[in-house]
Amino acid sequence: MRFDVITLFPELFAPFLEAGVARRAYASGQIELKLWNPRDWAEGNYRRVDDRPFGGGPGMVMLAEPLARCLAAIRADRADVAGQAAPVLLFSPIGEVLRHAAVEAWAGDARGAILVCGRYEGIDQRFIDAHVDQQVSLGDFVLSGGEIAALALLDAIARLQPGVLHDAGSHQADSFNPAVDGLLDCPHYTRPEEWGGQRVPAELLSGHHAHIERWRRDQRLTLTARHRPELIAAARAAGRLAAQDEAVLARVADAQAP
């Protein structure tokens, strides 16, 4: 799959392509990433890509025309990718918050996407209205640009590609994954068996796989109930909680009761 990124700062993506497990997705060709600077499609000696906002106010607004020309060049370059037009995503505070289900959908979409990284006070609304198919947010906070959000999405997609993680099942136990019923992940431990006066839980040292899996399930339930109770409600509504799970949650509720 192919992702094209419209960004004024393509250099921010270089370290991401050269380090960490995500690089395997790019080195193997599973994900093709192309970076496009709208300044290359701007006019004038200064290649201007922004201007003052109409109506006054602080900051600058990205011009629609260089973005539109850049997007047209991407469309022409992508003419044969997956046989259909790729959606255009803009990272924006008004977008739907990115969640695991959306990442899984993007990871399996052969079209990839065109990612637009805004800067300054934002992008001329006319470009958004004419060309953006979907807006995406990382949460209720504001970044200085869309590049960090784009990197987050690309990393999440890359690690779901076959072979990127050494163990093909590694991501199946991740937080929010349907394989663990959308719950948070359990705690993890490694050597030594005792550190700082604390020992690794006995269940993990027992060698009894059924006991280990039950301990992990109980921990997922406990952590999720304490920190993200809405995920418990969603799992319950979907019929994913067994009687033993409910018994664990009842104990957690009793422990939290005043």
Q: Give the pLDDT confidence of 122-142 residue by residue, as tens digits.
A: 999 999 999 999 999 999 999
Task: Name the segment(s) of the chain with CATH classification 1.10.1270.20.
Answer: 172-256
**Topology (CATH level 3) of domain 2-158:** Alpha/beta knot (3.40.1280)
Helix (H, G, I), strand (E, B) or coil at 141: coil
What is the structure's pLDDT at 77?
A: 93
Tell me which fold the domain 172-256 belongs to. Answer: Trp Operon Repressor; Chain A (1.10.1270)
pLDDT tens figures, 6-40 = 999 999 999 988 888 888 899 899 999 999 999 99
Instruction: Read off the pLDDT of each residue in 219-244 and give the average, rounded to a whole number.
Output: 97
Per-residue pLDDT at 120: 92
Segments in the chain forming alpha helices (H): 14-18, 23-27, 64-77, 100-107, 125-131, 147-158, 202-205, 209-227, 229-237, 243-256
Q: Provide the pairing of β-strand 113-116 with 2-6.
A: parallel
User: Annotated catalytic sites, by residue?
Assistant: 93, 121, 159, 174
**In the chain, % of residues over pLDDT 70:** 96
Return the sign of the alpha-carbon dihedral for residues 72, 37, 143, 16: positive
- Banded model confidence at residue 81, pLDDT cuts 50, 70, 90: low
Q: What is the mean pLDDT of residues 38-62?
A: 95
Q: Does 175 score more than 90 pLDDT? A: no
H/E stretch holding 61 reads: strand 61-62
